[in-house]
Amino acid sequence: MTMKPWLPPLLVLAAAAALAPLPIVAGSYWMALLVNILMYATLATAWALFSGPTHYVSLATAAFFGLGAYTMAFLGETLPLPLVYGVAALIGAVVATVVGLSTLRLSGVYFVIFTFGLAELVRQLVTWGEAKYGGTVGRFVFIDVTQQGIYWMLLGLLVVILLTGLAIQRSRLGWALRAIGEDETVARHAGIDTTVSKVAVFVVSATFMTLVGAIMAPRWTYIDPSIAFNPIISFQVLIMALLGGAARLYGPILGVVPLAILFEILQANFPNYFSILLGIAFLVIVYFVPNGIVGLIDQGRGAIVRAARRRPHPAE
């Protein structure tokens, strides 16, 4: 199926326009759920920008999210808000460049392991710095941003991420990433500077994650390193993107909506068993939905096409 190049961006904008008025009608419980879903939708889509085409599994989502949240906690009361978001994005980009340059030359497993520990590492550094120079480990966040404001900012950010993703897919960089995902050695022999391509998209993806953290921070009145750098965020983003399927740009969102609601219900009703249920959800998805919902849709579409082809020959 070929699509007109202007159609996907238009669809993204139309969907966002349809979702934008929701805060006007939604009550506070629904607003909280919507913001939660949007937060994971932005994180999972940003995650898939990099990990989808390259197949490099990043577990650093919480590290960047936490950096953003902490930037807001540090500067939110002293600088104007737009500037704080700018600073957060810059910090995310710089950290991602350093991490990317030092780990993306390594093979895939080493990258997984390093990003696995990155949130823990940043958390330890922040805790250490706060205890040594800040006096306390936690921080109060008194910033005047409403639930609605957060919703609209996240929705706007999601649009930007999707449009960026579309632009990358159509660029030379998009081709380079897919070549890396297929076979990195071949990509290198074809003249692709694999390190530059990987680091560039990793930085873009991480910058978006940092921004999400900065936007979300005012939702809590108090943050400490174990809230901001909670590794569960990385795992949930990963599993949501997997369920949706990272092969398409819109895939992760398909996984976010059901899982965000499921986790919300589990956390409210079985807080003590949450970890076990999360693990079981992980296993079920890995074993039974390996290509995500997107894979299932493609499979279903293939079956329909085959069935349609068969129909003209009832004698078969």
Question: Which residues of the shown chain bind other proteins in the complex (CB under 8 A)?
Answer: 55, 57, 102-103, 105-110, 112-114, 116-117, 120-121, 124-125, 127-128, 131-132, 231, 235, 238, 242, 272-283, 286-287, 290
Of 203 and 214, which CB lies nearer to other proteins in the complex structure? Answer: 203
Cβ atoms < 10 Å from Cβ of 193 = 12
Of 166 and 289, which CB lies nearer to other proteins in the complex structure? Answer: 289
> Tokens representing 278?
């999360």
C-beta of 7: minimal distance to other proteins in Å? 32
Distance, in Å, from the CA atom of 49 to the CA atom of 43, rounded to the nearest integer, reads 10
Q: How far is CA 72 from CA 44, 77, 146, 205, in A?
A: 21, 8, 15, 19
C-beta of 286: minimal distance to other proteins in Å? 5
C-beta of 249: minimal distance to other proteins in Å? 20
Q: Determine if residue 245 is left, alpha or beta; phi over 0 gives left, psi from -120 to 50 gives alpha, anything else beta.
A: left
Q: Are 234 and 59 in contact (CB under 8 A)?
A: yes
In the block, tokens 């700018």 appear at 86
Distance, in Å, from the CA atom of 227 to the CA atom of 198, rounded to the nearest integer, reads 29
Of 29 and 287, which CB lies nearer to other proteins in the complex structure? Answer: 287
Of 143 and 277, which CB lies nearer to other proteins in the complex structure? Answer: 277
C-beta of 193: minimal distance to other proteins in Å? 18
C-beta of 102: minimal distance to other proteins in Å? 5
C-beta of 238: minimal distance to other proteins in Å? 8
Of 120 and 193, which CB lies nearer to other proteins in the complex structure? Answer: 120
Could you tell me which of 62, 55, 176, 185 has the C-alpha nearest to residue 116? 62
* C-alpha distance across the termini of the chain, in Å: 28
Of 152 and 282, which CB lies nearer to other proteins in the complex structure? Answer: 282
C-beta of 124: minimal distance to other proteins in Å? 5
DSSP lists the bridge partners of residue 151 as none
Of 152 and 235, which CB lies nearer to other proteins in the complex structure? Answer: 235
C-beta of 167: minimal distance to other proteins in Å? 27
Of 161 and 246, which CB lies nearer to other proteins in the complex structure? Answer: 246
Of 116 and 175, which CB lies nearer to other proteins in the complex structure? Answer: 116
C-beta of 132: minimal distance to other proteins in Å? 8
Could you tell me which of 52, 252, 61, 38 has the C-alpha nearest to residue 169? 52
